[in-house]
Amino acid sequence: MSSDLFQPEHEVFRQTIREYIIKELAPHADEWEEAGEVPREVFKHMGDLGYLGMRYPEEYGGGDDILSEAVFHEELAYCLSGGVGADLGAHMAISMPHILTYGTGEQKRKYLIPGIKGEWIGCLAITEPDAGSDVAGIKTRAVREGDDWVINGSKTFITNGARCDFMVLAAKTDTQKGHSGISMFVVDTSTPGFEVTRKLDKLGWRASSTAEMAFTDMLVPGDALLGEENKGFFQIMGMFVWERMTLALGAIGGAQLSMEAALSYAKQRQAFGKPISKFQVIAHYFADMATKIEAGRQLTYYVLKLYLEGKNPIKEASMAKLFCGRMACEVVDTCLQIHGGYGYMEEYPVARAYRDIRLMPIGGGTDEIMREIISRMMGL
């Protein structure tokens, strides 16, 4: 939907990227869901077209246009697989931004250039079996050995983790300092001591290459440190704003697509001699859904505006992520109800959408954490 936030060229791009996604990605959704990952060739093709580097500086092969990336995340729902959007988003919007913001010139050249080209795939490795929302509770350790670091530990629920080429990794570098003792590293997965221990079987996002990984005496060079030592927690918190905005945009896109599909179904599905869309209860479902989607869209666009103005809208991004994630779950649930028994069949896209959308109130910070952030920033 149009907004004064976007320029005419962004609306043209919206149509262009939607057509690309519908033509090039959506037809393969079933195949990639079955395989459990998006082929590397997809990243390469999208990199060739400039779709993986829209927000990044031109010197690294990017387009220097963050609004185009925002459009991209909202339109990704048309690929008909949350897992496809997850893998692409984890690479371009979650792992590489850490390098862009905190990396040295050498790190940016080494990882951003092939990452933007789609030649390398990245992941963000923070969550552990015993530490999800509690980032300060991570147990992976990085210990100095001369000029290098030795890393031991494990991570889980890592999107792209089963086939990434590099990872942005959080580890404890000072166990006595709590959250102030975490540092970030950017590490090649070819490094000895790195192992993918398990590819995870999930309820939804089944096309996403999600993994558990382990590090056993993994020796990384000193220049693998990303940003300042023991400042990793603050780096992670700073990068959550963009991640949560992209998740809100994805939730809006997913809700919009499901509503459109349900509307088409309701107009052709007959009951008691007329389309079910003609029954007031069904029509009012659509009125409620359209209102909720538009409210989420305008809230998220407002947060995006604040972000573009150079502000750090932590509270507002948390609000957008909280509202849009829950809203999308409600909308898709209603869409499944409108489909009736057919909505419970895998042959209809709403069944997959129902499984995929449920991750929105969990990934990128749970609803409970979003409420905690919002309430604390209200002085409570």
- Supply the residues annotated as catalytic: 243
Q: Which of 137, 117, 135 is nearest to 243 (CA)?
A: 135
24, 18 contact by CB (below 8 A): no
Question: How many helices (H) and strands (E) in the chain?
Answer: 13, 10
Task: Report phi then psi at 155, rounded to 5.
Answer: -135, 160
Which pair of structure tokens corresponds to residue 126? 């923070």
| φ/ψ bin of 282: left (φ > 0), alpha (ψ from -120 to 50), beta (otherwise) | alpha
* Among 198, 38, 43, 21, residue whose Cα is nearest residue 117: 43
Q: Which residue has the tokens 């166990």?
A: 175
SS3 label, residue 136 = helix
CB distance 342 to 266 below 8 Å: no
Report residue 117 CA to chain centroid gap: 19
Of 41, 350, 25, residue with least CA distance to 204: 350
Q: Name the residue among 187, 154, 193, 146 with its Cα closest to residue 172.
A: 154
Measured distance CA(250)–CA(296) in Å, rounded: 11
